[in-house]
Structure 1
């Protein structure tokens, strides 16, 4: 918190499409979609109107023994939108909570069907799934693990398929496939005690936007089937079009046992999350009260009517407009501006998956030697971008763009120029 003496908070008072506006009237392009939640720009009228209309009817009702119309409508739309055979929805109120739900549901499923020995989880190195205790336990952020380690349960960590570390001349496909061999070894050794594998499909977002090939998802799905282990996909950041398809798993043509969604589900208006799963999972909990097989998880704001109304309106935008097709133009533009950065002497990698473009600053391009994290090079890019009217908030030394889908090609050009100049300043800083 002391850093706010050096880097004052931005007092944002209004949002307008791509732009955030502070109390002095300065406008900033929201290049990171306000932490990846904003899909269709700030103040999107359809979503705003849906919330206002719902507020006139019902704002909240207990979701135990009661339901509400927006929650039912949204569940039906999610079932239609998510991959086939995902046909049961459990609501939560944030991404971390959705991960907790999926972990607990998998754990209890095995207990309910008479295999209580399956209690452990396999996750990926460099992964991130949130900051509640279960989510932190299956994540791999060193600072969090070091700080909260004694509070967390032990997870089996598999090497990441992160293609930043592929050999010279090795393709994303070959490296990601090769890395799946390590997962195969772990499952062969531990499958009898493992409830589920959890991972972020295609992009490890908080893990410095590291990316990999869909073949890894294909292989892990095959392995989970082979060894009778659940597969949990954390699509919280990458769902709803961020990777170019509605959900990242579609690019591997695989279906997880549990899909966690949040962030963009309400277009960035209100907190909401959901876990979508198979009816076969649901049936393991469907029993008489005396069996005590019910799923033990509830939050006060589960299925909140206002948030679900925002979710319905968000999914309606996808249904009424050619969002994914229109985004392809923006994806191509991001690819175009990315080319310039590949030649920068302090850029070690440029990578893109759909609407996510990441540029990794390094001290030495040839060896990919990183800048010392204590030098805070990324913050220098952030500070410069603010002076140029852009909220471009790097992850350590990775400058990335994950903008709302209302951005224009000209605005992408402008962001790229700001990022280029910011990287120049950061790389040359003493």
Structure 2
């Protein structure tokens, strides 16, 4: 008998964030359309989390598909050291002007973690090139910036990093800013400023940390103080970028602009992997020198792949269309109404939303954590009902592609209501 795709997978594949000994067989997806994915048995699965927050326009979008086909007929790849091509230049020309602050140069990589690695290297070497010894990095408690070693180092020590903690470099972690602690945070920055190279942060929402949301005004005050102390600011907009928090980019809600921005996920509309790190001219010019050691020695084999750049351009065209903003506003309105209903339920706490992100905690008698016993029950409940909601411990969140219909949103809300009725004692 011919094996299913899922069975073939189990013979050869090691999946991410998965304990392979106990994990159920993966669902084999064969195609996608809009907010729906179709498995090998013909069942539909509603993608309510944008397949790890990447898909903003829907699966197999015809505009992106057409642009990919056009580019594939011309050029697949070329080395990006000493050579260039139209899609890479055109994407940078179109993306930089819409970013927060004064971003003027763009460095290509291939995913969110590598975009963070590039940003960290830029800031550390920036100070070396200027002949100043600033080596400390600041980040927030509960942060998550990726799974490569530099990105893990500026992330919270957690179940994600535990096996590697002895190998991570030292970082000073700050509390999230708020009315009750802002003065203490500013004083802490004063004490650390002289040897601090940069501060990396997820603006307004800490994603993998549990969709933790905090206010723009307090972050702005903290960033402005860091700026006065000469600390470079790295805005990690890998998850928050491209409209997830309401404005086009989360940093648009602040007055203080970043020195560096990292982007990935929605950059290509969730089609292929890509990362970019953008910076101001001040950062860039610190690497211009007759001294070859002032060069940023970083690159990837598939840096600025033409196919990927063409896809990102197509996604950006869709994102800048007024219809996309209308879709985002519609989702926000629907989320807000459902959040009011959800907040009245005894089974949940801390209902919160920002832009198209709606999150809350399912109350559990044990400790809230990524690996609590409730997490597996939540994941399996939604998987069986073919609604793709992947919990972060006991935190449930909806972060859908912008093309999701009102009827599909109702389906997600109804699945959550059903879950709350069926919670184990």
What TM-score comes out, normalization by structure 1 length?
0.91
Look up the match of 1:168: none
Look up the match of 1:183: 185
Q: Give SS of 1:142's match.
A: coil
Look up the match of 2:126: 109
Look up the match of 1:277: 279
State which of 409, 413, 417 in structure 2 corresponds to 1:412.
409
For residues 242 and 254 of structure 1, do their structure 2 counterparts lie closer, same or farther at Cα, with a shift above 3 Å needed? same
What is the CA–CA distance in structure 2 between the aligned matches of 1:55 and 1:129, rounded to whole Å?
Answer: 32
Q: Is 1:93 paired with 2:110? A: yes
Contact 2:262 2:277 in 1 (8 A): yes
For residues 372 and 133 of structure 1, do their structure 2 counterparts lie closer, same or farther at Cα, with a shift above 3 Å needed? closer
Look up the match of 1:252: 254
Q: Give SS of 1:178's match.
A: coil
Q: How does 1:344-359 map to 2 (within 5 A)?
A: 344-359=345-360
Structure 1 residue 344 displacement after superposition:
1.8
Deviations 1:301-346 (A, max 9, x none): 1111111001100111123333223311210101111122212222
What is the CA–CA distance in structure 2 between the aligned matches of 1:154 and 1:56, rounded to whole Å?
Answer: 47
Structure 1 residue 387 displacement after superposition:
2.5
For residues 356 and 191 of structure 1, do their structure 2 counterparts lie closer, same or farther at Cα, with a shift above 3 Å needed? same
Gaps of 5+ in 2: 1-17
What is the CA–CA distance in structure 2 between the aligned matches of 1:11 and 1:29, rounded to whole Å?
Answer: 14
Contact 1:379 1:393 in 2 (8 A): no
What is the CA–CA distance in structure 2 between the aligned matches of 1:375 and 1:95, rounded to whole Å?
Answer: 27
Structure 1 residue 428 displacement after superposition:
2.0
What is the CA–CA distance in structure 1 between the aligned matches of 2:302 and 2:354, rounded to whole Å?
Answer: 33
Look up the match of 1:155: 171
Contact 1:87 1:278 in 2 (8 A): yes
What is the CA–CA distance in structure 2 between the aligned matches of 1:342 and 1:64, rounded to whole Å?
Answer: 54
Q: Is 1:58 paired with 2:75? A: yes
Structure 1 residue 416 displacement after superposition:
0.9
Structure 1 residue 276 displacement after superposition:
1.2
Q: For structure 1, which segment, 147-156 or 385-394, has the greater mean C-alpha deviation from structure 2 after superposition? A: 385-394
Structure 1 residue 392 displacement after superposition:
1.0
Q: Give SS of 2:199's match.
A: strand
Q: Is 1:128 paired with 2:125? A: no
For residues 7 and 65 of structure 1, do their structure 2 counterparts lie closer, same or farther at Cα, with a shift above 3 Å needed? same
Q: Give SS of 2:160's match.
A: helix
Deviations 1:150-209 (A, max 9, x none): 110000010124xxxxxxxxxxxxxx2433334312211111111001100000000011
Contact 2:101 2:256 in 1 (8 A): no
What is the CA–CA distance in structure 1 between the aligned matches of 2:144 and 2:337, rounded to whole Å?
Answer: 29
Q: Is 1:312 paired with 2:313? A: yes
What TM-score comes out, normalization by structure 2 length?
0.92
Q: Give SS of 1:89's match.
A: strand
Contact 2:152 2:168 in 1 (8 A): yes
Q: Give SS of 2:345's match.
A: coil
For residues 179 and 324 of structure 1, do their structure 2 counterparts lie closer, same or farther at Cα, with a shift above 3 Å needed? farther
What is the CA–CA distance in structure 2 between the aligned matches of 1:33 and 1:409, rounded to whole Å?
Answer: 16
Contact 1:51 1:310 in 2 (8 A): yes
Kindly report the root-mean-square deviation, in angstroms, between the aligned alpha carbons of the 2 structures.
Answer: 1.6
Deviations 1:383-412 (A, max 9, x none): 222232311111110111000000122221
State which of 388, 391, 394 in structure 1 corresponds to 2:391.
394
Q: Is 1:381 paired with 2:383? A: no
Contact 2:101 2:258 in 1 (8 A): no
Structure 1 residue 5 displacement after superposition:
4.6
Structure 1 residue 68 displacement after superposition:
1.2
Look up the match of 1:203: 205
What is the CA–CA distance in structure 1 between the aligned matches of 2:286 and 2:95, rounded to whole Å?
Answer: 22
What is the CA–CA distance in structure 2 between the aligned matches of 1:372 and 1:220, rounded to whole Å?
Answer: 28
Contact 2:139 2:201 in 1 (8 A): yes
